[in-house]
C-alpha cells in the first residue's frame, strides 16, 4: 500500500505543471430530469450498464451453479467479458467510423443479445465463456456512441444531458444486479439472463429511432 501511495504521489508531482489551475463552470442545475431523446438514450445506457452489472455480479454464480465450474475458476467468466470489452473499446474508433452509429448500435446490441442467449441456453461452460465474450464485444462501443449522440442532440444542453444519462446508466449497474437476483429468486438465473437478452434486442433496434 505504501508503494502504491508513493507511485501516486510521484505521478501527481510530475503531472502538476500540466493541470489546470481552475475548475470549469458547470452552468447547469444540480439535478435535471432527462427528457426526449436524452431520456431515450439514458434508458438504452441503463440497459447496457445493467448488462455489465450482470456480468460483474452474476456471471461467476451462473458458471458455478449452472455449469458446474469450480468456484475458484468461475471468475474467468467476467475476465473473458472484460477482456473482450477492452479489446472492443481499443479498436472502437476505426470500427465506428467505418460502420457508422446506427450499425454499431444494431450489430452491437445483436451481438450482446446472442452472446447472452448462447451463454444461457447451451449447457456447456465453454459456450458460456464464448457467450460472455460476445456480450463484451457487443457492449463495448454502444455506450460511447450514445455519449457522442448526446453531444449532438438539441433537446437539452450537453452539460446537463451528459450527467443525466450517466446517472441513469449507473442506476443500471448498481440496482440492476439486485433486480436480476429478484428475477432469479422468483424463477431462475437463466430466465433473468434471457430477460437481459430481450432488453439488448431493444437496444439493437433503438438505433433506427435515434435521429441525432
SS3 of 123-162: the string is CCHHHHHHHHHHHHHHHCCHHHHHHHHHHHCCCCCHHHHH
From residue 15, alpha-carbon distances to 7, 10, 18, 29 in Å are 12, 9, 6, 31
The set of cell numbers assigned to 200 is: 439488448
Query: What pLDDT is attached to residue 212?
Result: 58
Cα distance between residue 37 and residue 156, in whole Å: 9
Contacts of 54 (CB under 8 A, 6+ apart): 176, 177, 180, 192, 193, 196
Domain boundaries, the chain: 33-209
pLDDT per residue rounded down to tens, the chain (212 residues): 566 666 677 776 776 666 655 444 555 555 567 788 899 999 999 999 999 999 999 999 999 999 989 998 999 999 999 999 999 999 988 999 898 889 999 999 999 999 999 999 999 999 999 999 999 999 999 999 999 888 888 888 888 888 889 888 889 888 888 899 999 999 999 999 999 999 999 999 998 887 65
Could you say which of 2.102.10.10, 1.20.1250.20, 1.10.10.10, 3.90.870.30 is the CATH number of the domain covering 33-209?
A: 1.20.1250.20
pTM to 2 decimals? 0.83
Amino acid at each position: 500500500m505504501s508503494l502504491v501511495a508513493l507511485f501516486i504521489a510521484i505521478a501527481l508531482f510530475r503531472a502538476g505543471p500540466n493541470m489546470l489551475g481552475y475548475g470549469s463552470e458547470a452552468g447547469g442545475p444540480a439535478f435535471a430530469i432527462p427528457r426526449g431523446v436524452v431520456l431515450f438514450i439514458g434508458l438504452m445506457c441503463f440497459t447496457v450498464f445493467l448488462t455489465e452489472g450482470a456480468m460483474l455480479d452474476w456471471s461467476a454464480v451462473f458458471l458455478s451453479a449452472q455449469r458446474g465450474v469450480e468456484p475458484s475458476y468461475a471468475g474467468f467468466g467476467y475476465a473473458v467479458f472484460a477482456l473482450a470489452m477492452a479489446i472492443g473499446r481499443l479498436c472502437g474508433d476505426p470500427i465506428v467510423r467505418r460502420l457508422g452509429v446506427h450499425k454499431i448500435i444494431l450489430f452491437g446490441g445483436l451481438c450482446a443479445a446472442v452472446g447472452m442467449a448462447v451463454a444461457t441456453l447451451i449447457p456447456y461452460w465453454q459456450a458460456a465463456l464464448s457467450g460472455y465474450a460476445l456480450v463484451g464485444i457487443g457492449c463495448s462501443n454502444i455506450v460511447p456512441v450514445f455519449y457522442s449522440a448526446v453531444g449532438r442532440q438539441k433537446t437539452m444542453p450537453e452539460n446537463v444531458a451528459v450527467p443525466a444519462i450517466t446517472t441513469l446508466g449507473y442506476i443500471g449497474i448498481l440496482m440492476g444486479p439486485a433486480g436480476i437476483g429478484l428475477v432469479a429468486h422468483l424463477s431462475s438465473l437463466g430466465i433473468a439472463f434471457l430477460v437481459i437478452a430481450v432488453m439488448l434486442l431493444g437496444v439493437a433496434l433503438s438505433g433506427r429511432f435515434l435521429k441525432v
